[in-house]
C-alpha cells in the first residue's frame, strides 16, 4: 500500500560541507523507488530549500529482502570541502513510499538517518533513529456471501467470509459498515473460532483459532 507525503526532517549539530552525504534508510520492505527510478514524489517542504545547487537525491534498493536507501550528495559549489550549510539548520522534505506487506521485525522497525563526511575515505560523522509506523496486513481475495435461503429482513442469515491472510493472526475483527442494521450479538460461528465478548451490534470479534498466510 502506498503511503503518500511522509515528512522527513533532520537537524545536524555540525556544518555541512561539499562532498558530505546524507543517507536515509527505511526499515526492510519499504520501497522508495518511483517508476522512473528516482525517489518517489520527492520534494522540499515549504519555500525554503536548504540545498539549492546540490543534485536531487538518489534512491536505490537491493532485493530479497527489499532494502532501500536515499542518498543526498551535498555539493553547493565546486570547492571540495567548502562550506555548504551552517549548523543547526533544519533539512525537511517529503516523499511517498510503498509499505511492506507486514510490519518489520521490532529490532529493524526504525528509519535511520546518517551524515557521512566526504573525506577520503568517507566516514560516518553522526546519525539518528526514528521509530516507524505500524503496517497492518491485508486480506487478499476477500469475499462475503449469504448462504442459504434465510435472507428476509430480521431473519438469522448465514454469512460466509473467504480471504487469504498476508500475516499470521489469532483474532478476527469484522465490522459491517453498509448496509446498516446487522446484529452479531447472537452469532454462531464454526469451531474452533468462538465469539468474543467485544462483539456488539455490527461488529463481530472472533478468537480461538488462527489465520496463517499460505506457504510459498
pLDDT band with cut points at 50, 70 and 90 for residue 198: very high
Rounded to an integer, the average pLDDT of 157-166 is 86
144 and 105 within one domain: no
The pLDDT of residue 31: 96
- Is the sign of the CA dihedral 81, 86, 88, 93 positive or negative? negative
Range of the domain at 156: 139-211
Residue 121 lies in a domain: yes
pTM for this model (two decimals): 0.69
One domain, residues 125 and 151: no
pLDDT score for 1: 67
Note whether 178 and 85 are same-domain residues: no
Q: Alpha carbon 15 to chain centroid distance?
A: 31
Consecutive H or E run containing 61? strand 58-62
The verdict on residue 48 lying in a domain is yes
Pair (60, 148) in one structural domain: no
43 occurs within a structural domain: yes
> Given pLDDT bands bounded at 50, 70 and 90, which one contains residue 57?
very high
Q: What is the pLDDT of residues 171-189, one digit of tens each?
A: 889 898 888 888 898 888 9
Look up residue 147 and give its three cell numbers.
Answer: 448462504
pLDDT at 181: 85
How open is the CA angle 156-162-168, to the nearest 5 degrees? 120
Percent of the chain with pLDDT over 90: 55
The answer to whether residue 46 sits within a structural domain is yes
Looking at the fold, whether 174 and 99 belong to one and the same domain comes out as no
Pick from 131, 160, 189: which residue ends a domain? 131
**Claim to verify: residue 96 and residue 23 sit in the same structural domain:** yes
Which of the listed residues 82, 99, 131 is the one where a domain comes to its end? 131
Query: What confidence category does residue 135 fall into, taking pLDDT thresholds of 50, 70 and 90?
Result: confident
Largest CA distance in the chain: 80
On average, the pLDDT of the chain sits at 90
Predicted pLDDT of residue 3: 83
Retrieve residue 62's grid coordinates.
Answer: 537491493
| In-domain check, residue 69 | yes
Instruction: Give Cα separations from 185 to 14, 38, 171, 178, 193 (angstroms).
Output: 61, 51, 17, 17, 15
95 and 113 assigned to the same domain? yes
Given pLDDT bands bounded at 50, 70 and 90, which one contains residue 216? Answer: low
3-state secondary structure of 41: coil
Query: Do 88 and 47 share a domain, yes or no?
Result: yes
- Report the domain count for the chain: 2
198 in any annotated domain: yes
pLDDT in tens, 28-56: 999 999 988 899 999 999 888 999 999 99
Contact 114, 9 (CB under 8 A): no
Distant-in-sequence, close-in-space partners of 33: CB < 8 Å, separation ≥ 6: 39, 40, 59, 60, 61, 68
Which of 94, 112, 131 marks a domain boundary? 131
**What integer pLDDT is reported at residue 103 of this predicted model?**
83
Same domain, 52 and 112: yes
Least confident of 8-12, 115-119, 162-166, 195-199: 162-166
Average pLDDT over residues 114-142: 88
Amino acid at each position: 500500500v502506498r503511503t503518500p507525503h511522509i515528512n522527513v526532517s533532520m537537524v545536524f549539530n555540525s556544518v555541512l560541507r561539499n562532498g558530505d552525504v546524507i543517507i536515509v534508510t527505511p526499515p526492510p520492505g519499504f520501497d522508495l523507488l518511483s517508476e522512473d527510478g528516482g525517489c518517489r514524489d520527492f520534494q522540499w517542504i515549504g519555500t525554503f530549500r536548504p540545498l539549492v545547487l546540490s543534485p536531487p537525491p538518489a534512491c536505490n534498493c537491493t532485493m530479497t529482502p527489499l532494502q532501500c536507501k536515499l542518498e543526498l550528495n551535498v555539493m553547493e559549489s565546486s570547492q571540495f570541502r567548502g562550506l555548504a550549510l551552517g549548523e543547526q539548520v533544519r533539512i525537511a522534505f517529503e516523499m511517498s513510499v510503498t509499505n511492506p506487506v507486514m510490519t518489520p521485525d521490532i529490532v529493524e522497525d526504525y528509519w535511520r538517518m546518517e551524515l557521512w563526511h566526504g573525506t577520503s575515505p568517507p566516514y560516518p560523522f553522526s546519525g539518528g533513529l526514528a521509530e516507524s509506523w505500524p503496517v497492518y496486513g491485508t486480506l487478499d481475495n476477500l469475499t462475503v456471501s449469504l448462504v442459504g435461503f434465510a435472507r428476509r429482513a430480521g431473519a438469522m442469515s448465514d454469512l460466509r467470509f473467504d480471504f487469504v491472510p498476508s500475516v499470521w493472526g489469532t483474532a478476527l475483527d469484522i465490522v459491517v459498515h453498509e448496509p446498516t442494521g446487522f446484529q452479531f450479538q447472537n452469532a454462531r460461528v464454526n469451531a474452533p473460532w468462538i465469539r468474543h465478548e467485544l462483539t456488539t451490534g455490527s461488529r463481530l470479534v472472533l478468537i480461538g483459532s488462527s489465520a496463517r498466510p499460505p506457504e510459498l
